[in-house]
Amino acid sequence: MASPFGGHPTLAHYIAWIADNGGHAQSGFSRAKSGSTQALTKIESANGGAVVIVGVAHGDRLEPTYVAYLDRRLGVRSPWFTVPE
């Protein structure tokens, strides 16, 4: 996916790609003990991998290291550039 930001996907783009490949995501809010709320998203891949993301908005661009983290946790290889370990 080409973009003026070097091809870094947004979280929404990543979720759409997961959904197109048999996975799904759920989003909601969680309330901390302090009373503040945080956005959270649970993503599950078709092969059973799962990750919960806290505090990242769907419009936020993901750095290559974060894409690599998500790919690793979900057991997938997304089409975006990642930084190897």
Report yes or no on 32 lying in a domain. yes
The number of beta carbons lying within 10 Å of the beta carbon of residue 14 is 25
Report yes or no on 25 lying in a domain. yes
Q: How confident is the model at residue 32, as a pLDDT?
A: 83
Residue 83 scores a pLDDT above 90: no
Tokens 């997304």 map to which residue? Answer: 78
Report yes or no on 17 lying in a domain. yes
Helix (H) or strand (E) holding 11: helix 11-20
Q: How confident is the model at residue 13, as a pLDDT?
A: 97
H-assigned helices in the chain: 11-20, 64-74
Taking a C-beta distance cutoff of 8 angstroms, is the pair 54, 30 a contact?
Answer: yes
For residue 45, give the DSSP letter.
Answer: -
The residue among 82 and 46 whose pLDDT is bigger is 46
Q: How many domains does the chain have?
A: 1
6 — pLDDT class (breaks 50, 70, 90): low
Taking a C-beta distance cutoff of 8 angstroms, is the pair 7, 80 a contact?
Answer: yes
Residue 60 belongs to what domain range? 11-74
Report yes or no on 1 lying in a domain. no
Residue 4 scores a pLDDT above 50: no
